[in-house]
Structure 1
Amino acid sequence: MTHQHSAQPQAGSHDHMFLGQNHARNERRTWMVIALTTVMMIAEIAAGTVYGSMALVADGWHMSTHAAAMLIVALAYLYARKHARNPRFTFGTGKFGDLAAFASAVVLALIALLIAWESFVRLANPVPINFPQAISIAAVGLAVNLLSAWLLRDDHAHHGDHHHDHAHAHAHDNNLQAAYIHVLADALTSVLAIGALVTASLYGWVWLDPAIGIVGALVIANWSFALIRRAGGVLLDYVPSSEDLPEEIRSVIEREGDLITDLHVWQLGPGHHGAIVSLVSDHPKAPSSYRAKLSHIHDLSHVTVEVEHKAA
């Protein structure tokens, strides 16, 4: 159960628990996908060793890299939940997911490089392919990845009774997105492999399989860099151009002649933002009055207000 911190906290009830709305559900599903991937990985490596299939063994070890990356995701969920009320984390543990997403995206970029390298090696030194076996492996891998992707889908659920509801990407869970992109990348490589293998078996184009591998690596690299930018932006308190919270805070506070002189807005966790507002006023009110004005903004979970009398 996620605790939503009020923009106008009551005395004595102030805490910094800024976990995402579906934190527990996402953590549970990530562990399920890790279990599914691990079982498939062990089965492929064991079968490949017993039947002497390098394709099976290679695919099994490939799946192990994604399982390791998803372990980063799951452990981040676990750690963030265990330490959610630890006062040493000044603004809570909501950003652990973004830290894990950044690390997972780097792993994904390395996987893309490995796929590209292996594809170039295969282009230079073609190896005979057992087409029926390779196609069946790719098909089973695709089925596992599609099931995993379904488990890791982001419902983008929002409560319907809020006066204001941001539906921007910043409310998404980057940690869940990292796990989702890993299984999607695996699914993409399976789809491309099936297409390339079927075509190569029909026309004898052995070069097509590694060539398509390079295309897949480029797509995966593009996904990983997008995730690195998004998660890195959160870690560095970058406010994207799509984020309208600063403008909204200004429009609420400056309606009655009060003037904001300094404003800082940053993400505390999925769907949670903090703000420090410094303002001057001819008729200054208590900080709680300004927090009350901002309390209808759902994404704004922690507000600090500083008020000074405007100089004559």
Structure 2
Amino acid sequence: MNSSSRSDFSCPHDHCFFSDNQQANERRTWIVIGLTIVTMVAEIVSGMVFGSMALLADGWHMASHASAMGLTAAAYFFARKYRDDRRFTFGTGKINDLAGFSSALVLALIALLMAYESVHRLLDPVAIRFNEAIVVAVLGLVVNLVSAFILNENHHHRHGHDHGAECSHQHHDHNLRAAYLHVLADALTSVLAIVALTIGKIWGWAFLDPVMGIVGALVITRWSIGLLGQTGRVLLDYNNDTGLAGQIRDRLESGADTQVEDLHIWRIGPGHHSAIVALRTSSLQNPEDFKQQLCSISSLSHVTVEINPKANQPSGTEGKHSL
């Protein structure tokens, strides 16, 4: 349910809380998967034909990369397949956040393996075929830069909405962001490898190759921790969007006789939030009237309002109302 097509929070309503770019993001993911698979096959075949272990190794690395992208694509598929399944209380928007969290764990594991292999190479150096390794690193960099360009979110498409003070990641598609960080991590690895291999070829400093691997592992770990934090907060219904909470309070408490007693807000999809509000008021307005006051908040997609009458409310109107 997008804000552009919603004028109220009427019942019944759909529970489709996807990003406005959900279909486009899924297509972009499949494009990157196709590009990765083509590169993987080319490197494995070339490695077998030319007897290059460097090409073979990078080809199999591309296979793991395609698998990670497959997790992203699978999340989009299942979110779309079960979008109308009422067993998902607030829709399937969080499937993307779950996939993003899982991808962040995979990213952390990759960083750990990189660090382990790099330390092992420092302690037990191996001969490096610099020319072939540089060619593979450059090829990997080109593919990953193209993939990163395809997957990069447009961070400006939401800047015009009405609570700009919130954290920008409130509207991120964390599933797509996880895929983006995967290819960015590979691109960083390729850049560091090119620098280390070039210096190693010219000056014979072969130790720089594993050193750069450790540096890359530390950077990737930092990215992974950041994504784990963002997706983990969403999965635990943590809300740090104080701007949205302030807007809801300001609009509902615009009347002197109405107070927000309890307010719960959580993210249910990229750019979509749900809210449960308990009001104490002497107003004769019903819950639907109060919900109408919130309709212009673009990122608020699902609202429940409970009205608790004040003690001095006129006789015969006591009672609790919710909708």
Structure-1 residue corresponding to 2:261: 261
Pairing 1:56–2:62 present? no
Q: Is the 8 A contact 1:7 1:301 kept in 2?
A: no
Residue 230 of structure 2: aligned partner:
230
Compare 2-11 and 110-119 and name the one that shifted more.
2-11
When normalised by structure 1's length, the TM-score is 0.94
Q: CA–CA distance in 2 between the matches of 1:183 and 1:162?
A: 30
* Bigger Rg over Cα: 2
Q: 1:183 to 1:203 in 2, by over 3 A?
A: same
Separation (CA, whole Å) in 2 of partners of 1:190 and 1:159: 32
Unmatched 5+ stretches in structure 2:
313-323
Match of 1:8 in 2: 8
Alpha-carbon distance in structure 2 between the residues aligned to 1:228 and 1:61 = 26
Q: Secondary structure at the match of 2:301?
A: strand
Indicate the residue corresponding to 1:154 in structure 2. 153
| Residue in 1 that maps onto 2:311 | 311
1:148-198 deviations in Å (ceiling 9; x for gaps): 011101013537886666672201111110000000000000000000101
| Counterparts of 2:179 and 2:87, CA distance in 1 | 28
SS at match of 2:254: helix
> How far apart are 1:246 and its partner, in Å?
1.2
Alpha-carbon distance in structure 1 between the residues aligned to 2:41 and 2:284: 66
* DSSP 3-state at the match of 1:145: helix
Q: In the alignment, which residue of structure 1 is the partner of 2:319?
A: none
The one-character-per-residue Cα deviations of 1:34-61 (angstroms, maximum 9, x if unpaired) are 1111111122222223322222122122
What corresponds to 1:39 in structure 2?
Answer: 38
- The alignment partner of 1:155 has SS state of coil
- 1:280 aligns with 280
Q: Deviations over 1:63-112 (max 9, x none)?
A: 22221111111110111112111112110111110000000110111111
Matched, 1:213 2:207: no
Matches within 5 A, 1:1-312: 3-4=2-3, 6=6, 8-12=8-12, 14-158=13-157, 168-240=168-240, 242-257=241-256, 258-312=258-312
Q: C-alpha separation between the residues in 2 aligned to 1:156 and 1:191?
A: 25
- Structure 1 stretches of at least 4 aligned residues deviating more than 4 Å after TM superposition: 2-5, 159-167
| CA spacing shift, 1:30–1:15, aligned 2, 3 Å | same
Contact 1:259 1:280 in 2 (8 A): yes
Aligned mates of 1:55, 1:284 — CA distance in 2: 75
CA 153–243 in structure 1, closer or farther in 2 if over 3 Å, else same: farther
Question: Which amino acid counterpart does residue 107 of structure 1 have in structure 2?
Answer: V
Structure 2 residue matching 1:264: 3-state secondary structure: strand
SS of 1:35's equivalent?
A: helix
Work out whether residues 7 and 300 of structure 1, in 8 Å CA contact, stay in contact via their aligned partners in 2: no
Q: Name the CA distance, whole Å, in 1 between partners of 2:45 and 2:121.
A: 24
The number of residues matched between the two structures is: 309
User: Aligned partners of 2:134, 2:36: CA distance in 1, in Å?
Assistant: 19
8 Å Cα contact 1:7/1:302 also seen in 2: no
Q: Deviations over 1:115-166 (max 9, x none)?
A: 1111111111111111111111100110000110111010135378866666
Instruction: Return closer, same or farther for 1:227/1:143 CA change in 2, 3 Å cut-off.
Output: same
Aligned mates of 1:155, 1:60 — CA distance in 2: 30
- Residue identity in the other structure for 2:76: Y
SS at match of 2:253: helix
SS in structure 2 at match of 1:260: strand
Amino acid at match of 1:83: Y
**Counterparts of 1:164 and 1:123, CA distance in 2:** 51
CA RMSD, aligned part only?
1.8
CA shift at 1:255, angstroms?
1.9
Distance 1:117 1:7, change over 3 A: farther
Counterparts of 1:250 and 1:32, CA distance in 2: 44
- Where structure 1 has 5 or more consecutive residues not aligned to the other structure, the ranges are none
Name the SS of the counterpart of 2:268 in structure 1. strand
The Cα of 1:30 is off from its aligned counterpart by 0.1
- Give the residue type in structure 2 aligned to 1:67: A
